[in-house]
Each structure stands twice: as C-alpha cells, then as structure tokens.
C-alpha cells in the first residue's frame, strides 16, 4: 500500500483510541434497546437489577468467558474504574485492528488492480487512486 | 444489541451459527475482489473504529435505556458490503471471546443481526440513495443517515424473528409487543447511529474521498458529462 495512506490510518486509529480509551468512561451504563425490551414485565432497581415480576431477561445465563481478564470492558485487577475501562478499550481497539487488519491483509487480492482496467501494465492500484481522486470528489 | 446466553435456545442458536458461518464464507469470497492493498488496512481501521464507538452507549429519550452504534452502514459506506459485514463480524467475535459481551453460543445470532442483516439493509439503501441523490456532502449525509437508521431497525427485527423461533420465555402470543418495543427503541437508537455514521462518512469524504467505497463503486443515475481522465477506469 502507498505511503500516503499512513497519515489517514494513524489519524483514524488515534481517534478510535481516544474514543475507547477516554470517552468510553462517559458512556451510558443503562441497558441497551434489546436488553431493556427483554426487561419488560420486570421491575428493576436503580442499578438496573431485576427486583421482581417476570420477563424474558430472567432466562439469561452467565457468559462462558465471564472470568476473562477483560470481561465487561474492564481490566481485572485494576481498581480505578476510569483506568480499567479506558485500558480495556485501548487494548480492544489495538486487538481488533491487529486481528482484522491482519486477516484482511492475508486475504487481499494480489496482482493487477482490476481485470477491466486499461491494458497498461504499470497501472497499479496507487496510480488508479490518483486518477480517481480529482474526478471522484463529492463536491 | 448483543444477545446474552440463555435468551434464545440452543438449537436455534446453532442453526444461526451455521448460517452465519456460511454467509461469512460467502462474504470472504466476494470481498476478496474488493480487498486490495489499499482496502485491507482501511478495513482494519474501520473494524477498530466500530469497536471503539460500540463502547459509547448513548442515552435515548426513553428513561433508563441506552443504545450504541452497530456499524453496518458505516462499514458498508467505507469498505463495501462484503468486507463491511466481515468488519462488524470481527468486532462481534472479539467482543464475545475477549470482553464477555454477547454469549459465545449466541454469536451466530448476533452476527446474523448486526453484521449480516444490518450491513445488507444498509447497502441496499446506500446503492439506491447514492444513485438518486445529488453528489454533494448533504446528499452523502442523507444517504448515510437514512441507511444507518433503517439498518438498526432491520437488525432489531432480526432479533424478533429469532425470538419467535427460539425465545426461552413464552410471551403468550405477544410477539408483536416485543416487535413494537424493539422497533420503537431502535428507531431512536437508529437516529444516533445515523448521526454518527453521517458525521464519520462526510468527514472521511472531505479528507480522502477516494477512501469512501460507496463513492468509488456507485455511479450516479444520470452521469455528469464525462470528463475523460487518462486511466480513469473507475
């Protein structure tokens, strides 16, 4: 891949790290739309724990990996919630980037850019980029 | 929108796991045509970004309920439907295996709703809207917003279908009640999804329009007078 993609990639990764590492601490801790729909029929307390009634959510079972070191977006052993959530988010972003980026890189198509491309052997993907930029603009 | 263990019974979960596996294999086959040296790292970034934003549960206007980005529309816009579905699936797998979010036994159900249904619904709308709306930042924003909103509602109804097939609580025939609750909550969550998706896509299009898959792949219905560009095969 071309060198001129690196600034964009690094910038995007930095934004993701900031969101997962810092902003995540300000996320709502209420149940999401699905979980709350399954709580219909039950009464819950201020911590959103079921206190009575009957609802589909009562059938929920523990997660297979509830003891994983990063379970529930926290790092086990770190007492400070802010640091624990933020660090788990940073690790998650890096892990997701490495896993998916690695898999996509291994699965990528090699060889000429497109079968239908004009028969100029030197028309690599990066040169096609440059040709597409001025004409493919949104404005 | 991650289903926890115990909510859907084992046989139905297993059927959806097999379905999701087959569909993802198909996405890999089709996606490889899109995956070149430029798209592969971009797809990694899209997955990482979706993971990050999925952590950011936002409140909706119903008391005590939150929602978060699913990411299908965002991924479809930026890296296309096949690779996009794979991006969301990777996020869901990482969440289930490492973060204890969404049961491992429920992974096929969750992948079907969020990665497959959500992305498919989004891309169908993107393909339609980008052809009829003007190629302007606002046209792009409307496309992103509408496709993201609808994709969330569709994904939510995927869960209702699964609950109808294998829900572990007998709703006493009141499935429409669940469908209505899910639809209303996810309409509101979809507004959030739409705003996040539109903001992100318009920002990327401003900085690097060549990195927005949908703008490369989808030609407007009435092509502007073509300016011949040497080698401009796309």
Element (H, E) at A132: helix A125-135
Separation of alpha carbons B185 and A36, rounded Å: 9
What mean pLDDT is predicted for residues B158-174?
92
Separation of alpha carbons A35 and A57, rounded Å: 7
> Chain B within 8 Å of A108 (Cβ-Cβ)?
yes
Query: What pLDDT is attached to residue A129?
Result: 44
Query: What pLDDT is attached to residue A120?
Result: 43
B-contacting residues in A 2-61 (Cβ below 8 Å) = 2, 5, 8-9, 12-13, 15-17, 19-20, 23-24, 26-38, 40, 44, 48, 54-61
Of A59, A60, A137, the CB nearest to B209: A137
8 Å CB contact of A107 and B28: yes
Whether pLDDT at A2 is above 80: no
Whether pLDDT at B223 is above 70: no
In chain A, whose CA is at the least distance from the CA of B225?
A135
Do B78 and B46 meet the contact criterion of CB atoms below 8 Å apart? Answer: yes
What mean pLDDT is predicted for residues B105-121?
98
Whether pLDDT at A100 is above 90: yes
Domain boundaries of chain B, sorted by first residue:
10-213
Instruction: Output A128 or A62, whichever has higher pLDDT.
Output: A62
Candidates B31, B39, B40, partner chain A, best to mutate (most A CBs within 10 A): B40
In chain A, whose CA is at the least distance from the CA of B66?
A32
Do B189 and B148 meet the contact criterion of CB atoms below 8 Å apart? Answer: no
Range with the lowest mean pLDDT among A90-94, A115-119, B57-61, B134-138?
A115-119
Of A33, A57, A120, the CB nearest to B1: A33
Domain boundaries of chain A, sorted by first residue:
69-104
Give me the percent of chain B exceeding a pLDDT of 90.
88
Whether pLDDT at A125 is above 90: no
- Helical segments of chain B, H only: 10-31, 39-54, 72-79, 81-98, 107-110, 118-132, 137-166, 175-207, 213-217
In chain B, whose CA is at the least distance from the CA of A111?
B36
Element (H, E) at A129: helix A125-135
Q: pLDDT confidence of B172, banded at 50, 70, 90?
A: confident
Neighbours of B110 (CB within 10 A): 30
Instruction: Output B77 or B170, whichever has higher pLDDT.
Output: B77
Separation of alpha carbons B54 and B110, rounded Å: 14
What mean pLDDT is predicted for residues B192-221?
93
8 Å CB contact of A5 and B41: yes
- State the Cα torsion A91-A93-A98-A103 to the nearest 10°: 130
* pTM (predicted TM-score): 0.88
Query: What pLDDT is attached to residue A119?
Result: 42
CATH 3.30.450.40 describes domain B10-213: no
Q: pLDDT confidence of B230, banded at 50, 70, 90?
A: low
> Chain B within 8 Å of A74 (Cβ-Cβ)?
no
What mean pLDDT is predicted for residues B21-29?
98
- State the Cα torsion A92-A97-A98-A103 to the nearest 10°: 130
Whether pLDDT at B220 is above 80: no
Query: What pLDDT is attached to residue B174?
Result: 83
Assigned token pair, A42: 């039950």
Do A47 and A53 meet the contact criterion of CB atoms below 8 Å apart? Answer: no
């Amino acid at each position: 891949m071309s060198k001129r993609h690196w600034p964009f990639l690094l910038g995007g990764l930095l934004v993701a790290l900031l969101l997962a590492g810092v902003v995540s601490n300000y996320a709502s801790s209420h149940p999401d739309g699905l979980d709350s729909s399954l709580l219909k029929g039950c009464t819950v307390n201020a911590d959103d724990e079921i206190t009575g009634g009957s609802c589909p959510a009562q059938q929920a079972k523990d997660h297979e990996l509830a003891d994983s070191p990063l379970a529930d977006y926290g790092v086990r052993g770190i007492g400070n919630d802010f640091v624990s959530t933020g660090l788990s988010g940073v690790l998650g972003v890096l892990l997701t980037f490495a896993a998916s980026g690695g898999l996509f890189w291994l699965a990528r198509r090699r060889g000429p850019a497109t079968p239908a491309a004009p028969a100029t052997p030197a028309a690599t993907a990066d040169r096609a980029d440059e040709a597409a930029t001025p004409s493919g603009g949104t404005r | 929108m991650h289903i926890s263990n115990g909510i859907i019974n084992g046989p139905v979960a297993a059927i959806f796991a097999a379905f999701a596996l087959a569909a993802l294999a198909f996405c890999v086959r089709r996606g490889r045509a899109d995956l070149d040296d430029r798209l592969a790292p971009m797809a990694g970034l899209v997955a990482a970004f979706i993971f990050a934003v999925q952590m950011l549960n936002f409140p909706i206007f119903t008391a005590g309920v939150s929602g978060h980005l699913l990411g299908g529309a965002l991924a479809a816009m930026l890296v296309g439907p096949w690779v996009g579905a794979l991006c969301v699936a990777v996020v869901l797998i990482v969440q289930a295996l490492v973060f204890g979010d969404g049961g491992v036994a429920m992974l096929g159900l969750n992948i079907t709703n969020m990665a497959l249904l959500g992305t498919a619904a989004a891309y169908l709308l993107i393909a339609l809207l980008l052809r009829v709306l003007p190629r302007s930042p606002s046209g792009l924003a409307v496309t992103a917003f509408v496709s993201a909103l609808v994709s969330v509602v569709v994904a939510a109804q995927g869960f209702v279908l699964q609950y109808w097939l294998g829900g572990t609580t007998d709703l006493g025939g009141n499935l429409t009640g669940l469908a209505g609750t899910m639809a209303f909550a996810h309409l509101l969550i979809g507004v959030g999804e739409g705003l996040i998706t539109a903001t992100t896509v318009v920002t990327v299009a401003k900085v690097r329009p060549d990195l927005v898959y949908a703008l490369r792949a989808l030609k407007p219905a009435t092509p502007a007078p073509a300016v011949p560009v040497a080698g401009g095969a796309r």
